[in-house]
Amino acid sequence: MSNELSALVTVADIEAAAARIQGVAVRTSLVDTPVVALKCENQQPMGAFKIRGAVNFLAQLPPEARAAGVITYSSGNHGQAVALAAQRLGMVAVVVMPETAPRVKVEGVKSYSGEVIFAGTTSLDRKARAEAEAAARHLTMVPPFDHPWIIAGAGTCGLEILEQKPDVTTIYVQVGGGGLIAGIAAAVKGRRKDVRVIGVEPAGAAKMAASRAAGHPVKLDTTSSIADGLLPLRPGDLTFAHVQAFVDDIVTVTDDEIGAAVGWLHRQAGIVAEPSGATAVAAVLRDGAATGRAVAVISGGNVSPEDHARLLAR
């Protein structure tokens, strides 16, 4: 266990990331409702928590890597975050996206001067194309979730939750590749071992739940959900190690429950959340928080008005 733990992100790593990302990422609001407090990462400059990890990663690159530029692969929000972080730091950014990427996210990348390349429909399709482009163009790869700098950046959200709601007892976090929950759990358990951290996955993309059951990262054959940001086929090796070490439970929610959470956030809190962003709230609405001291992360709000209207009409 000691060898495994030595590879895990520490609170000191996350505190250093918090200083590094100031000026690009913002300290987002914690909004109280009668049911659950909401950590509003939809308030970030590109609309999602991903900016935290992207800035932390790019800020640590040496000058020669900055001069050459960076590349990543993303269903949307991580790509937008890397493009924005690169723009702020004066770097070139290339983003490999799925052919099925929501238009609002593609346009977001382009609005931050990012170059978009389309490749297939799965994370593995995107990764293979990005690796080939990185080699050909001498670009630095910015992993979407499975890297200590990305995890530490995401963990800054956890530090903020503890500061903003000192009486918190449970934190619900959506799970895609696992970077957000890995970082938040490392931050929270490093400071407050008594606070429970619950991961929430779409039922059609429950790769972390399957991996927990198997005791090692498992690759699903396919994933499907309205939560397009939570569809990797497999968790990262490093993110899985963090989940095993720090996360109390993983639960799943249906697409109907996710859609209902999007509507609840709009009606009860005036928050526009994309389906991935509402997934943690879906678990709280279904299962009920044991006390008024639970927090759910709204991981992102990048959804077109048309798609949001369709979700509200479900």
Helix (H, G, I), strand (E, B) or coil at 241: helix
Q: How far is the C-alpha of 207 from the C-alpha of 77, rounded, in Å?
A: 20
Contact 52, 153 (CB under 8 A): yes
Closest residue by Cα to residue 168 from 30, 42, 5 = 30
Q: What are phi and psi of 219, to 5 degrees?
A: -100, 125
Helix spans in 165-229 (H): 179-191, 207-214
Q: Based on the residue annotation, tell me whether 211 is a catalytic residue of this protein.
A: no
CB 50 within 8 A of CB 174: no
Instruction: Kindly provide the b/e burial profile for residues 276-292, where b requires at least 16 CB atoms within 10 angstroms of the residue's own CB.
Output: bbbbbbbbbbeeebeee
CA 296/CA 311 separation, integer angstroms: 20
Dist CA 40 CA 59 (whole Å) = 24
What sign results for the dihedral spanned by CA atoms 85, 87, 91, 96? positive
Select which of 207, 225, 299, 304 is catalytic: 299
Q: Which residues on adjacent β-strands are paired with residue 64?
A: none
Active-site choice (39, 50, 105, 127):
50
Alpha-carbon distances of 43 from 12, 47, 117, 175, rounded to whole Å: 25, 6, 27, 19
In the chain, count H helices and then E strands.
14, 10
To the query of whether residue 50 is one of the catalytic residues in this protein, the response is: yes
For residues 19 and 30, give the distance between their C-alpha atoms in angstroms, rounded to a whole number.
Answer: 20
Give the phi and the psi of residue 101 in degrees, each rounded to 5.
-60, 140
The residues carrying an active-site annotation are: 50, 299
